[in-house]
Amino acid sequence: MSSHHFRPTRAEVDAAAIARNTRRLLDAAGDGAQLCAVVKADGYGHGLVTAAQAALSGGATWLAVALVEEGIALREAGVAAPVLVLSEPPAAAAAALLAHDLTPTVYRAEFLHALEDAAVQRGEVARVHVKLDTGMTRVGVAAEDWDAVLALLAASDHLEVEGCQTHLARADEPDVPTTAVQLERFAAALDALRSFSLAPRLVHVANTAGALLHTPAWRAVLAAGAPGAVPLVRAGIGLYGLDPGPAVSAAAHGLEPAMRLVSEVSHVRRIDAGTPVSYGHRWSAPADGWLATVPIGYADGVPRTLTGRLDVLHRGARRPVVGTITMDQILVWCADVTPAVGDEIVLIGHAGGGAAGSAAGSAGIGMEEWAERSGTITYEIATGISARVPRVVVG
Ligand X SMILES: *Cc1c(COP(=O)(O)O)cnc(C)c1O
Contact footprint for ligand X (CB under 6 A): 38, 40, 86, 167, 207-209, 234-238, 244
Position with the least CB separation from ligand X: 236
CB closer to ligand X out of 230 and 363 = 230
CA dihedral 66, 234, 358, 43 (to 10 degrees): -20
| 279 among known catalytic residues | yes
Considering the complex, what minimum distance in angstroms separates the CB of residue 119 from ligand X? 23
Considering the complex, what minimum distance in angstroms separates the CB of residue 255 from ligand X? 11
| 40 among known catalytic residues | yes
Residue 304, Cα to own-chain centre: how many angstroms?
22
Strand partners, 84: 64, 103
CB closer to ligand X out of 95 and 217 = 217
CB closer to ligand X out of 333 and 379 = 379
The H or E element that residue 389 is part of is: none
Q: Which of 40, 44, 298, 379 is catalytic?
A: 40
CB closer to ligand X out of 255 and 313 = 255
| Other residues' Cβ atoms within 10 Å of the Cβ of residue 235 | 31
CB closer to ligand X out of 236 and 295 = 236
DSSP letters for 157-183: SSEEEEEEE---SSTTSTT-THHHHHH
Rounded Cα–Cα distance for residues 354 and 212 (Å) = 23
Q: What's the 3-state SS for 61-128?
A: CEEEECCHHHHHHHHHCCCCCCEEECCCCCHHHHHHHHHCCCEEEECCHHHHHHHHHHHHHHCCCEEE
* Longest Cα separation, the chain: 79
Q: Which of 44, 131, 240, 279 is catalytic?
A: 279
- Burial of 151-176, coded b for 16+ CB within 10 Å and e otherwise, reads ebbeebebbbbbbbbbbbbbbbbeee
Considering the complex, what minimum distance in angstroms separates the CB of residue 236 from ligand X? 3
Strand partners, 313: 318, 346
Considering the complex, what minimum distance in angstroms separates the CB of residue 44 from ligand X? 7
Q: Which residue numbers are catalytic? A: 40, 279
